[in-house]
C-alpha cells in the first residue's frame, strides 16, 4: 500500500530530476514544485520506463510517485511508428506495485503509431492511480491500439481521478479516461470531460472505450463523435467474462 509519511522520498524539482527517475524505477519520489516538461526544440519528452526489457516487453515503474498536488506541464510524447510502439505517456507503464497519486499532467501525444497503448498519465497501468488528473490532446491519425485521456490500458485501480484531455484516433479503443479496461481493473469515483473523436475503425466512449472490469461512481460529460458506426457516451463496449 501507500508508503507512510516516514518513508524517504527523492524530490523531483526539475525536468532533469523527472528524467532521472529512469535510473531507479523502483524508487519513491515526490514532486517538490510544478515542473515544465517541455523538451528541447525538435525533440520529444522521455517517458518514465518503456525501455526494452526484451524483444516483447518494456520496463515498468514499480515505485511510488506522489505529485503533492503539483502539475507537470507541456509534456510532448511521440507515438512512434515502431510496431508496436512502446507504451506512451508521462509513465510508459506502471507495474503492479507502482503507485502514482496526487498529480496533474498536461501535454500532447501525437505521431504515426499503428499499435500500442497511450495515455497522458500512463500508456499502461497495472498498479494504482489515485487523485490524478490530465489535460491536453491525444491525436493518433494512423492508430489501432488503445488510447485514453488518462491511461491507455488499465488492469489496475484508478481512483478519484479525471481527465479533460481530447482524444482522437483512426482506430482501436479510445476513451476520455481509459482506452481499454482489463478484467482485473477497477475505475472508481472518476470522470472524464474531454471530447472523444472515433475514426472509421475506432470504438469511442466518453469514459472508456472497452470495459471488461468494474466501473463504479463514474461519469463522462464530453462530446463523443464516431465517424462510422457506434459510440458510447460512457462506454463503447462492455464485456463480462
Show pLDDT as tens, one digit a residue, over the chain (241 residues): 665 556 789 999 999 999 999 999 999 999 999 999 999 999 999 999 988 777 667 899 999 999 999 999 999 999 988 877 889 999 999 999 999 999 999 999 999 988 889 999 999 999 999 999 999 999 999 988 899 999 999 999 999 999 999 999 998 999 999 999 998 999 999 999 999 999 988 899 999 999 999 999 999 999 999 888 778 999 998 887 5
Q: What's 5's DSSP letter? A: T
* CB-based contact 235:215 (threshold 8 Å): yes
DSSP states of 148-199: ESSEEEESSEEES-EE--EEEEEEEEEESSEEEE-TT-EEES-EE-S-EEEE
What pLDDT, on a 0 to 100 scale, did the predictor assign at position 81? 85
Q: Considering Cα of 44, then 45, then 46, then 48, what sign does the dihedral take?
A: negative
Reference 212, options 237, 191, 230; nearest CA is: 237
Task: Select from 158, 237, 166 the least CA-distant residue to 203.
Answer: 237
Q: Which three cell numbers stand for residue 96?
A: 503492479
The residue assigned the cell 518514465 is 48
Per-residue cell: 32: 517538490
CA distance 124 to 160: 18
Q: How far is CA 130 from CA 31, 125, 188, 189, 236, in A?
A: 15, 12, 10, 10, 24
Amino acid at each position: 500500500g501507500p508508503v507512510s509519511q516516514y518513508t524517504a522520498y527523492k524530490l523531483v524539482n526539475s525536468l532533469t530530476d523527472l528524467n532521472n527517475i529512469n535510473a531507479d524505477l523502483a524508487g519513491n519520489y515526490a514532486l517538490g514544485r510544478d515542473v515544465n516538461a517541455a523538451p528541447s526544440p525538435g525533440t520529444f519528452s522521455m517517458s518514465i520506463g518503456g525501455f526494452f526489457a526484451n524483444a516483447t516487453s518494456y520496463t515498468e515503474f514499480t515505485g511510488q510517485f506522489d505529485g503533492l498536488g503539483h502539475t507537470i506541464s507541456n509534456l510532448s510524447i511521440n507515438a512512434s511508428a515502431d510496431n508496436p510502439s512502446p507504451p506512451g505517456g508521462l509513465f510508459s507503464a506502471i507495474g503492479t506495485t507502482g503507485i502514482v497519486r496526487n498529480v496533474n499532467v498536461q501535454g500532447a501525444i501525437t505521431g504515426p503509431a499503428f499499435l500500442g497503448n497511450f495515455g497522458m498519465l500512463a500508456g499502461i497501468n497495472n498498479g494504482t492511480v489515485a487523485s490524478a488528473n490530465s489535460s491536453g490532446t491525444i491525436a493518433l491519425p494512423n492508430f489501432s491500439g488503445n488510447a485514453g485521456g488518462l491511461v491507455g490500458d488499465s488492469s489496475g485501480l484508478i481512483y478519484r481521478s479525471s481527465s479533460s484531455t481530447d482524444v482522437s484516433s483512426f482506430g482501436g479503443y479510445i476513451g476520455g479516461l481509459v482506452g481499454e479496461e482489463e478484467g482485473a481493473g477497477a475505475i472508481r469515483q472518476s470522470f472524464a470531460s474531454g471530447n472523444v473523436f472515433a475514426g472509421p475503425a475506432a470504438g469511442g466512449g466518453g469514459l472508456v472505450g472497452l470495459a471488461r472490469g468494474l466501473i463504479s461512481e463514474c461519469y463522462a460529460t464530453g462530446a463523443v463523435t464516431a465517424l462510422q458506426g457506434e459510440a458510447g457516451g460512457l462506454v463503447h463496449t462492455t464485456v463480462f467474462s
